[in-house]
Amino acid sequence: MAGKNKIRVAAVQFGVVADVAANLQTCMRMIDEAAKVKPDVIVLPEFVNHIAWYRDAAHCYGVAVSLDDVFIHAIGSKAKEHGCYIKINVTLKRDDGKVSGTNVLFDPAGNVVGLTDKQILMGNENNFLEKSTTIAPILETEVGRVGMYACMDGVIPEVARALAVRRPQMLLNSLNSFAHDEASLHIPVRAAENKVFVVAANKVGSLVPEEMREAVAARLKIDPSFLEGAGESQIVAPDGTVLAKAPMKGEAVVFADFDLSEADNKLRPDGTDIMSTRRPELYAPLGVESTSGGKTPGAESLLAGAGQVSGQGKEAVASALKMIAEGEKAGVKLIVLPELFHITDLDNAEKESFEMICALQSELKDAYVATSIVEDGMHVGVMFNKDGVVLKQPQLHKSGRHAWSKLGDEMTVFDAEWGRVALVIGNDAIYPETFRLAALKDVEVVAVPTLILEKWEVELGFKERAAENRMNVIVASKSDSGIYAITEDFTLWTEWKNRPFDGNINYPVITMSQGDGLTVAEIHPAASVNKMVSQKTDVLNGRPWHIAEPIVSEQ
């Protein structure tokens, strides 16, 4: 069904309590409030039928709703009354006596036209809810092609990506989250990396019964004040621009108008189509149960450097030599330089590449250098020390600016004395799958020699690659180079030793370049071993590999 391009969408935030009937009245009231701006689509938060805390399995089942009960019929009646689509998320009774966290889409006639179960459960949810076992559909609606997901589904890349590769124009996300990094990072990055609109509605108010707040906070090892929905419901454009955002506290309705056809354009400034250039055949490990883990951790910490070079040729090599000398003096163990920073003439690129490596080796003592070269008609990432090249990584995806390059067929890694390293070069850095392949090989540090073309890469992309994979990312470009170091404190329900919990669960420490020269920061390879964000929730091994077919097969 062809949708209309220009639409208005609304994201609604509010709190719920331990009374299903009261929560239904809140939903009805807030839908009426949102309807005042006459939206085509209204999105509500996650678990709107009951606060997400249960005494036992029987209690969870008892407060869940069914598709034929008054709760669902009432929401459907509001969709019909206001002539719009409404997306909610509830705990839903299933035929087998189990309960799922389920997204429900109602059409303007009040009918349920889409159901998708939550694929990744967060912490305590694992004790009560069942994960999805089926691939989430793309829904053809009167307002365009739509996909749905919920909260933790958006904290790692696979769920949104499995939807995005089937070309929806809009993704609807319902949340029940107290994490501040949802709004600042995980929500908007899914729009930008997939070039799709995202509409996200989060909770406010207490996320557990008030009488349990102190006890639950003590178990989580956080201050009780953080056990509130973080709000900041938002609507995000395909370039990562936030079109509308609610405050952190209080009920709110935010809305935005946009042209859905903007999400059909998947081109980068260099002409690369981000979807047609994907390499599903390389992503097969993402569709297999993870065997990652068990590697001996790398160093607790070390200094890494991002060398920013805007010049070219011999001038650029001379700048790099100065940065290596500076880095060696400071004890830096890895220096990353921009892609092909030394090349002046593609016809002589292989000769210039050989000469660059030889020149830089003359200054090396204990450090490694990572950059990219031209070799055998390929754009190749290299990592070398004073003794020679220790790692090569051919470009994996077709790139508009490196259309001449042949492509490699696998991700390679190197075990340095301080940690396991991978190279992600050029446009390979825009694909979340590239970093996932590295994570599945237990990589702790990723060197990224690239050329940044879009602001979302810096504002969202590299931060998210570090966070969702729990790996340290060092990026070197002609501008906006930076070091994204994962934090040693990460898992909820454990004591945080190096910093107090500030509302951000998994936001890297970022050190950005201030112009040409060497930017140095501490990174933490050993911290990469820990990928448990909460009880029974692993950001890598917990990915929905069993329903990853859209990612690993040609679309």
> Does residue 315 sit in the same domain as residue 445?
yes
> Does residue 252 sit in the same domain as residue 367?
no
Q: Contact at 8 Å (CB) between 43 and 14?
A: no
> Does residue 377 sit in the same domain as residue 321?
yes
> Does residue 373 sit in the same domain as residue 477?
yes
- Condensed to tens digits (0 to 9), the pLDDT of residues 180-238 reads 999 999 999 999 999 999 999 999 999 999 999 999 988 888 999 999 999 999 999 99
- Condensed to tens digits (0 to 9), the pLDDT of residues 407-463 reads 999 999 999 999 999 999 999 999 999 999 999 999 999 999 999 999 999 999 999
Evaluate whether residue 509 is within a structural domain: yes
Q: Mean pLDDT score of the chain, rounded to an integer?
A: 96
Evaluate whether residue 278 is within a structural domain: no
The three-state secondary structure class of 257 is strand
The secondary structure of 78-126 as a DSSP string is HHHHHTSEEEEEEEEE-TTS-EEEEEEEE-TTS-EEEEEE-SS--GGGG
Evaluate whether residue 224 is within a structural domain: yes
- Identity of the residue numbered 193: E
pLDDT above 80: residue 2: no
Please state, for a pLDDT cut of 90, what percent of the chain lies above it. Answer: 93
Bridge partners (DSSP) listed for residue 91 = 101
Instruction: Please say whether the dihedral angle defined by the alpha carbons of residues 486, 338, 450 and 413, taken in this order, is positive or negative.
Output: negative
Q: Which domain holds residue 186?
A: 9-265
What is the b/e burial string over 360-391, where b = at least 16 CB atoms within 10 angstroms of the residue's CB? Answer: bbebbeebbbbbbbbbeebbbbbbbbeeebeb
> Does residue 310 sit in the same domain as residue 242?
no
Task: State the pTM of this model.
Answer: 0.96
Evaluate whether residue 288 is within a structural domain: no
Q: Contact at 8 Å (CB) between 311 and 515?
A: no
> Does residue 146 sit in the same domain as residue 242?
yes
Evaluate whether residue 298 is within a structural domain: no
> Does residue 310 sit in the same domain as residue 208?
no
- Condensed to tens digits (0 to 9), the pLDDT of residues 319-347 reads 999 999 999 999 999 999 999 999 999 99
First to last CA, the chain: 19
pLDDT above 60: residue 1: no
- Condensed to tens digits (0 to 9), the pLDDT of residues 132-189 reads 999 999 999 999 999 999 999 999 999 999 999 999 999 999 999 999 999 999 999 9
Evaluate whether residue 276 is within a structural domain: no
Boundary-marking domain end, from 216, 237, 265: 265
Evaluate whether residue 282 is within a structural domain: no
Evaluate whether residue 118 is within a structural domain: yes
- Condensed to tens digits (0 to 9), the pLDDT of residues 344-360 reads 999 999 999 999 999 99
The secondary structure of 458-481 as a DSSP string is IIIIHHHHHHHHT-EEEEE-SSS-
Which CATH number does the domain housing residue 541 bear?
3.60.110.10
> Does residue 246 sit in the same domain as residue 320?
no
Domains of the chain: total: 2
> Does residue 242 sit in the same domain as residue 309?
no
- Condensed to tens digits (0 to 9), the pLDDT of residues 79-120 reads 999 999 999 999 999 988 899 999 999 999 999 999 999 999
> Does residue 444 sit in the same domain as residue 515?
yes
Boundary-marking domain end, from 214, 243, 265: 265
> Does residue 230 sit in the same domain as residue 320?
no
43-54 mean pLDDT: 97
- Condensed to tens digits (0 to 9), the pLDDT of residues 482-496 reads 999 999 999 998 889
pLDDT above 80: residue 291: no
> Does residue 216 sit in the same domain as residue 94?
yes
- Condensed to tens digits (0 to 9), the pLDDT of residues 506-541 reads 999 999 999 999 999 999 999 999 999 998 999 999
The residues, any chain, with a CB within 8 Å of residue 240's CB and separated by 6 or more, are 188, 189, 191, 192, 455, 456, 459, 460
Boundary-marking domain end, from 237, 265, 293: 265
